[in-house]
A and B are shown apart, each in its own frame.
Chain A
Amino acid sequence: MSGLSSTREELTQLIKKARQLVVEAIVRAEYPALQKALKDADTMLHWSLWQLGEVEDLNPRYPSKAEGGSST
């Protein structure tokens, strides 16, 4: 594999790691303002993976408002 592929792989892993941290923060966030900001952050990280062709699910999945979550 070329160095280029390795860079892509590293970047993908870094973004996935960032998503894990953000999702962990979403669970801990109590205020709607904070939850929404963090979900937006996760949406953008999901979008970053899409840009790399690396997403399996086309949507990040959160509890809907009806399930007690806030809007994505």
Chain B
Amino acid sequence: MSRAIQGNGYWNEYWETLQRKRLEEIHLKRIRWLLKYAYENSKLYHRKYHEKGIKPEDIRTMDDFVRKVPFTTKDEILAAQSEAPPFGGAIACDYDDVLHIFQTSGTTGTPLRIPFTYYDTVKYGEDWAYGFWAVGIRPSDSFYFAFGWGMFTGFWSCYWGVKRMGGKVISGGGASTEDRIKHMQVYKPTVLVATPTYAIHLAETAKRMGVDPKSLGLKYFYGAGEPGPTALPKLREELENTYGIKAYELYGLGEVGAIAPACPTQKGTHLNESNYHCMVADPENGDLVAEGERGENIVTSFAQLTQPVIKYKTKDIVEWHYSETCECGRTWILYKGTVLGRVDYVAKIRGVNVYQTAVENLVRSVPGSSPYLEMHIDLDERSMDHMLVRVEADPSVPKESYKDLEQRVAEELRANLGVRINVEFVPPGSLPRYELKAKKMFDHRPRERRIPMAR
């Protein structure tokens, strides 16, 4: 078989190096198929497009798709589900064909229900396999899942990915953090699958148990669920130095897919353009932003056909690049730094958009800060946005030094972002630990004061 088909550092060299023109041709074909499928099978999309006076056959070009087809929001899917629970008009296949059902935590309201057929789980899993292969993980590797399974999509899709590529699965479901360390001592997995902050917590627990995290024999960290090693260089450094590993991340959304597997350069993640199409829009007005600019990621999935997502507003802030081939050889869109923040949690302080990852990187650049922090956005006495960052001090820092540290971090933020952000240092162990997504952003502003598209 030829090298092009067999792959060499690529899981599928054909797709990963396909030229933009050909990618766009295939995307258009798939979009047209998807629009017809959704119009015919999903009450949500039929009604939505009917109300706009759009028929699938009207969409003949990518420009038609961009201009004529409306965005889809999570609230629309939730409303369609609520009409006839569990899935109502959002589902596009026979309910009997659904294989696996998930739901979001519902921390910001009603949980979103997420159904998949068997084939959808295959495609979803494949997203992970692309990233595994790109960074050097192979079927001879073994994966430790520091994950509680349950109703949250989370790392279930990673499990499907391991099944796609091959590899050993070691499940840490239902185990305590201490027991997970013991599992890893016995089974010597080579890949740790966890959220980044939980991986840090695991390492701290290991040290408390007298176990050097390096002795666990891990070779890779492959995480997801929150800003990780490509968005936060200090976090990457900490993970890599603590465990003696290489740290990578994947960008995914439970209701859409594991859309962007890791780039081996650790600059960000690449959109899997075999399964997804994206455009990036200004969250304020919905206008598309140019390459290299930041905006809200708008995703269409060719892989999630059970509950289709077409021009779906992810609320994730990304910076996209596509016209130059990445150093790794991939032509797929690069999300530089992966997810930089959430539309919901952008604070506009004196006209400057302040993103979660920018703040986190700057805080972590000051020695004496720990990875545990919270960002609170609120209105000040003049009704202007302001932010308070609460940071856990490193255990080595005496309490008398907190004031000095607060000033140094505030100055670092002011010098780099050009805005004043209040900083408060708190003792080690003061902030909660999370096994899944760490909650770092807290928005106390009234709903009407948030960015319009995030409301």
Specify which of B1, B4, B305 is in contact with A58 (CB 8 Å cutoff): B305
B-side interface residues, number (CB < 8 Å): 28
Specify which of B2, B29, B37 is in contact with A4 (CB 8 Å cutoff): B2
Which chain A residue has the least Cβ–Cβ distance from B26?
A: A53
Assembled-state Cα–Cα distance A8/B6 (Å): 11
Assembled-state Cα–Cα distance A52/B22 (Å): 13
Cβ B93 vs Cβ A64 within 8 A? yes
Cβ B5 vs Cβ A58 within 8 A? no
Chain B 36-49 near chain A by CB (<8 Å), digits 1 or 0: 01000000000000
Chain A 17-56 near chain B by CB (<8 Å), digits 1 or 0: 0000000000000000000000010011011001111001
Specify which of B12, B30, B118 is in contact with A43 (CB 8 Å cutoff): B118
Interface of B is mostly: helix
Cβ B29 vs Cβ A56 within 8 A? yes
Please give the distance in Å from A55's CB to the nearest CB on chain B.
9
Assembled-state Cα–Cα distance A40/B121 (Å): 13
Q: Which residues of B contact A57 (CB under 8 A)?
A: 33
Q: Which residues of A contact B119 (CB under 8 A)?
A: 43, 46-47, 59-60, 72
Cβ A51 vs Cβ B12 within 8 A? yes
Cβ B118 vs Cβ A53 within 8 A? no
Q: Which residues of A contact B274 (CB under 8 A)?
A: 50-51, 53
Cβ A58 vs Cβ B96 within 8 A? no
Q: Which residues of B contact A71 (CB under 8 A)?
A: 96-97, 99, 117-118
Q: B34 on the interface (CB 8 Å rule)?
A: yes
Specify which of A3, A4, A47, A52 is in contact with B122 (CB 8 Å cutoff): A47
Q: B94 on the interface (CB 8 Å rule)?
A: yes
Which chain B residue has the least Cβ–Cβ distance from A44?
A: B122
Assembled-state Cα–Cα distance A11/B126 (Å): 21
Specify which of A8, A40, A43, A58 is in contact with B302 (CB 8 Å cutoff): A58
Extra contacts, 12 of them, besides A52-B14, A53-B14, A66-B96 (Cβ < 8 A), are A3-B2, A47-B123, A59-B37, A59-B119, A60-B119, A64-B94, A64-B97, A65-B96, A66-B94, A72-B117, A72-B118, A72-B119
Name the 5 nearest CB pairs between A and B, nearest first. A64-B94, A65-B96, A7-B2, A4-B2, A71-B97
Could you show 30 A-B contacts with beta carbons less than 8 Å apart?
A7-B1, A7-B5, A40-B118, A43-B119, A43-B122, A44-B122, A47-B119, A47-B122, A47-B123, A51-B12, A51-B14, A51-B15, A53-B14, A53-B18, A53-B26, A53-B274, A56-B33, A57-B33, A58-B30, A58-B34, A58-B302, A59-B37, A59-B305, A60-B119, A64-B97, A65-B94, A65-B96, A71-B99, A71-B118, A72-B97
